[in-house]
Amino acid sequence: MKKYIVAGLLSVVFLVVILFSFNKSSIEYTDFKTASEIGKRVQVVGSWVREKPSDYKIESNLFSFYMKDKKGKEMKVVHNGPQPNNFSIAKEFVVQGYVKGSVFYSNQIITKCPSKYEGEVEDIIK
Amino acid sequence: MFGKIIIYLASAGWLLSFLFYLFYDKTRNEKLLKFARFGYIGGITSILIASFFLLFNIFSHNFQLTYVWSYSSKKLPFLLQFSTFYAGQEGSFMLWALWLSIIGIFLFFFVKNRVSEGFPLAFYSLVLLFITIILIFKSPFADLWESFPGGNIPKDFMPEDGRGLNPILENYWIAIHPPILFLGYSLLTVPFVFAISGWLKKDYSSWIQHTTKWALFGAGVLGLGIMLGGFWAYETLGWGGFWGWDPVENSSLIPWLFVTALVHTLILQRLNGGLVRTNFVLASLSFIAVLYATYLTRSGVLSDTSVHSFVDPGKVVNVLLLIFQGIFVVFPAIIFFARLKNLPKIKSSYKLNSREFLTVLGALLLIVSAVIIILGTSLPIFQGWVGLKKIALDPHFYNQWMLPIAILILLLNAISLYFAWKTTDIKTAFKSNIWDLIIAFVVGVVFTIFNNKNFAFGFLIFSSFFSLIVNIKYIVRKIRQKNLRVGAFVSHLGIAILIVGSMLSGGFEQTRTIHLIEGGKANAFDYQFELVSKEQIEKHLSDREKYQYHIKIASNGSNSILKPIVYWSEFNNFEQPFFEPDIKTYVSKDVYVSPKSISFNDFFTPITLQKGKKIQAPWAEKDSIEFVSYDMSSMHVGTNTDHFMFGLLLKYTIDGKEFDDNVYSILNMKTNSFSPVWRRVPTKDFAIGFTKFEPAENLEQSSIQLSFGQEMFVADVTIKPFIWLVWLGVVFIVVGFFISITKYRKQPAPKPSLREVDKEVTLEETQNK
């Protein structure tokens, strides 16, 4: 019986440690406001503010643009890499990174595209 | 219709064989056996026929079937048409059923000659019954008008062509990786049915004998399948690596970890009768993990947190999958607890200095890894349960947990060979092998210094090399003794090579982004890259525009050409390109060139024009551009109604000559975006794009913007040192499993446990009487 109690206790400790490390390794979905407050690596969903300037610097490989999060807050985003190809047609996208000062430094942009990956009725009869 | 009937027949067959095999086992009535076999053979035959029928429909382009229409098309080459068989969910269930049926033929003869057909085939049929039930609800044989009931599709409507395969899958790997992976998954059913059949019959040891080969084979095939997926991702999908701790990858690794743990614990029961319960649990868990993988990847629960696209199969199938899983968790659990008291009492405590003990530790580490991966992968589900926001887990989570586990596993791999079964004189063992340790230690120290004193990394390298040296030593020693039972050592050597490879390729990986215009050059690391030319390939296929970028890579006087691919496809209305990397492999590294984007750098200031106006060309004073009229003649793009081709008719005057040309932009009504189709300006080496439309009251007053740019190929160049060690490592692991199948320790389970089982059975039987 003792053996099982020890094993059980060990498993509980193990699970608790894992739960804590979830917290450390998770990348929360949030908005710019919270992102500025916590300064941790987060993901923010939003859309491109087309009216504001955007540019890509070849030398530094940095693409900067303005993005509006779901709550309407705008922020400058500096992305480490070129402008993703589907960027201009994406309805919204997710940037992964952190806020430093007044800039969101991103190293990943995941675009969600209105593409027809799933068949729809309209596709069948043209 | 025919297809559906066949699926119904198959489920009837499996139901029949499940019930009759079950009762046959209880009654031993030969008549029941006949029915059972009839059902079993009928089930297999129906699945085979259904599979051929599906293939026939694919090859004959029967687009009346939703499945064929969704994933196939006339343009697909033969091999890819073949792969459409399992490109979608319905088909992947069909493939699973097909493999199980094929394995079922071998299993039939296997059990017939060794054990009774009853229980094992009954439960095997039950698994197939469930899959065929899913196939009834998620049928590859559904017609279009059934799949889209509200779509007013006339009966017998046959579309011209199918939608075709997702372009990123159009590669020979899709003909290789999924079938092998599914064969691996399917094979894990066999240890499971042996385990529950054995325990139900209170036979706790002989099922172990039958299971060993199947478990080894399953682990080998599944491992191969997983690796091929990683290689595919690296070689053509351009994900940059071979493993990213993505839910889809994880869910295939979990069953492999369980079955590999099982392979280890089986040995121990064969040796001295211990770990009876562990073996039952592991055999069950490897199968349950397969079901869980199916659930994770088919149910859409993870769609927010993975790079793979998931398609929600609908409520019915989701519920079915849950029930299916529930039954196969509860059922073995009941058997387990019901039999606990009945178990033979075997003293199986191992001495700390025995190889047995280390083997148990090794298996335990595999299980712990599986648990960590399950928890990490299932996190979004747990969060869904308690109503929390779903969050993505950083791959860092897995790396950080797997690092210490990998170190321990490697150390065990090495030290366990010094240890003898039963008991060991540790001092002498280490003394006679001290040089292995010293060499590995030196290598570890060198790497630690070399890699910014990263001690965790150095420790891992030390343990890898330790394991590497010891295993090679033992393989050589065994072969010298003409003993070919080296499977375990070969696999363990593979693990060490794999980890060294992934540490070197990941830890010393370096990436730079290069930008190339045609004829342009860029330097990255010690290489010079030059975009020599761009060549359109597969021109005969009208659904795509596929370009090979010929990139000369030069270093120290040696040149070679890499051909990464950028292509646009009708599949997503030419909205965004698909990329394929190309790799230059050297002995010490891979140079991995992965296209990231095709962009246009501004060449001149954009110009704004109204209809009928003429303006001086930005490149030469004498040249001009006239915006003649709008062109709305080819409005629709592909099949999508949201997209419009917005065109302009331009007249250029260049060096006194006139050129007429059209430029277009694709207007997406859903997102209101405007994406220009860049076109080369006549006689010039740059392109023109219709980049903006500023509407006014009417078209005449509206103005358009024309931009000029040069196409720029942007790619990431990554140096991956010694990544071939990763592939070599996995090859060793898999080969090791296959060696073990033919050359494993053929040692019967020790007598005492057998006798005890017999005694207990007879005791209980007499009590019953």
3-state secondary structure of B649: strand
- Altogether, the residues listed in chain A come to a count of 126
**Is A61's pLDDT higher than 90?**
no
Q: Which of B513, B576, B640 is facing A85, going by the closest CB pair?
A: B576
pTM (2 d.p.): 0.86
Which segment, A87-96, B341-350, B395-404, is predicted with the most confidence on average?
B395-404
Checking if the pLDDT of B121 tops 90, the result is yes
Reported as a pLDDT band with limits 50, 70 and 90, residue B125 is very high
Return the pLDDT at A76.
93
- Under DSSP, is residue B93 helix (H, G, I), strand (E, B) or coil? helix
Nearest Cα to Cα of residue B218 among B254, B255, B173? B255
Q: Is the dihedral of CA B619, B622, B623, B626 positive or negative?
A: positive
- Give every CB contact of residue B112 below 8 A, 6+ residues apart in sequence: none
pLDDT digits (tens, 9 = 90+) for B671-713: 666 778 778 888 887 888 888 888 888 888 888 888 888 888 9
The two tokens of residue B756 are: 């005890």
Say whether pLDDT at B483 is over 50: yes
What pLDDT, on the 0 to 100 scale, is given for residue B670? 64
HSE (side-chain half, CA atoms, 13 Å) at B345: 1
Q: Give the one of B69, B572, B597 whose C-beta lies nearest to A116's C-beta.
A: B572
What integer pLDDT is reported at residue B195 of this predicted model?
96
pLDDT above 70 (res B123):
yes
List of chain B residues whose C-beta atoms are within 8 Å of the C-beta of residue A43: 392
Task: Kindly state the average pLDDT of the residues B347-360.
Answer: 82
The distance of A101 to chain B (nearest Cα, Å) reads 24
Q: Which residues, 6 or more positions from B294, have their beta carbon under 8 angstroms from its beta carbon?
A: B96, B185, B321
With beta carbons under 8 A apart, name residues in chain A contacting B572.
113, 115-117
B215 or B302: which carries more pLDDT confidence? B215
**DSSP secondary structure letters along B219-237:** HHHHHHHHHHHHHHIIIII
Contact list in A for residue B397 (CB cut-off 8 A) is 21-22, 24-26
The answer to whether B182 and B293 have CB atoms below 8 angstroms apart is no
Q: Which residues of B touch A117 (CB under 8 A)?
A: 166, 309, 572
Crossing angle, helix B315-339 and helix B189-200, to 10 degrees?
A: 40
Tens digits of residue pLDDT in B282-291: 999 999 999 9
If you count DSSP H runs as helices and E runs as strands, how many of each does chain B have, helices first? 21, 19
The pLDDT tens digits for B231-259 are 998 988 777 788 888 888 899 999 999 99
Q: Which of B513, B636, B643 to mutate to test the interface with A (most CBs of A within 10 A)?
A: B513
pLDDT at B500: 92
For residues B637 and B634, what is the distance between their CA atoms, to the nearest angstrom? 8
% residues pLDDT > 70 (chain B): 91
Q: Find, among B572, B693, B577, B685, the residue nearest to B637 by Cα.
A: B572
Return the structure tokens found at B311. 């398609």
The one-letter amino acid code at B645 reads: M
The CA distance from B615 to B651, in Å, is 11
Residue B306 has φ and ψ, to the nearest 5°, of -135, 155
Dihedral sign for Cα atoms in the order B735, B372, B190, B85: negative
Q: B685 to each of A108, B652, B676, B688, how far by Cα in Å?
A: 33, 15, 18, 10
Three-state secondary structure call for residue B544: strand
Give residue B126's pLDDT band: very low, low, confident or very high (50, 70, 90).
very high
Proportion of chain A in helix, strand, coil states, percent, rounded to 5: 30, 40, 30
Q: In whole angstroms, how far apart are CA B578 and each of A119, B410, B412, B566?
A: 20, 40, 44, 6
Chain A residues close to B382, C-beta within 8 Å: none
Q: What angle do CA B713, B714, B719 make, to 5 degrees?
A: 125
End-to-end Cα, chain A, rounded Å: 71
Given an 8 Å threshold on Cβ–Cβ distance, is B515 in contact with A21?
no
Q: Is B329 on the interface with A (CB under 8 A)?
A: no
- Predicted pLDDT of residue B96: 97
ipTM: 0.76
Question: What are the start-end ranges of the H helices in B340-394?
Answer: 355-385
Residues B706, B606 contacting (CB under 8 angstroms): yes
Beta-carbon contacts of residue B570 (< 8 Å; ≥ 6 apart): B543, B544, B638, B639
The answer, yes or no, to whether residue B426 has pLDDT greater than 90, is no
The β-bridge partners of A55 are A64
Residue in B148, B401, B572 nearest the CB of A115:
B572
CA distance B690 to B526: 39
| Cross-chain Cβ contact A89/B675 below 8 Å | yes
Q: What is the pLDDT of residue B154?
A: 81
- Given this model, what pLDDT does residue B60 score? 94
Give the pLDDT score at B312: 65
The answer to whether B159 and A124 are in contact (CB under 8 A) is yes
Structure tokens at B508: 């010393």
Interval B736-769: pLDDT, tens: 999 999 866 555 444 433 333 333 333 333 334 3
What is the structure's pLDDT at B466?
94
Strand partners, B711: B600
User: Where does B75-128 show beta strands of DSSP type E?
Assistant: none
pLDDT at B765: 38
Please give the residue that has the higher pLDDT: either B646 or B91: B91
Residues of A with CB under 8 A from a CB of B: 14-15, 18, 21-22, 24-29, 41, 43, 56, 58, 61, 81-86, 88-91, 113-119, 121-126
Kindly determine whether residue A91 and residue B670, on different chains, have CB atoms separated by under 8 Å. Answer: yes
Chain B: residue whose CA lies nearest to A24 = B397
Q: How crowded is residue B691: how many other Cβ atoms within 10 Å of its Cβ?
A: 19
pLDDT higher than 60, residue A121 = no
Position B158 pLDDT exceeds 70:
yes
- Closest by CA to A101, choosing from A18, A36, A53, A17, is A36
Give the DSSP H or E segment for B661: strand B657-668
Cα(B62)–Cα(B196) distance, integer angstroms: 43
Question: What pLDDT is recorded for position B749?
Answer: 44
Closest by Cα among B351, B344, B393 to B749: B344
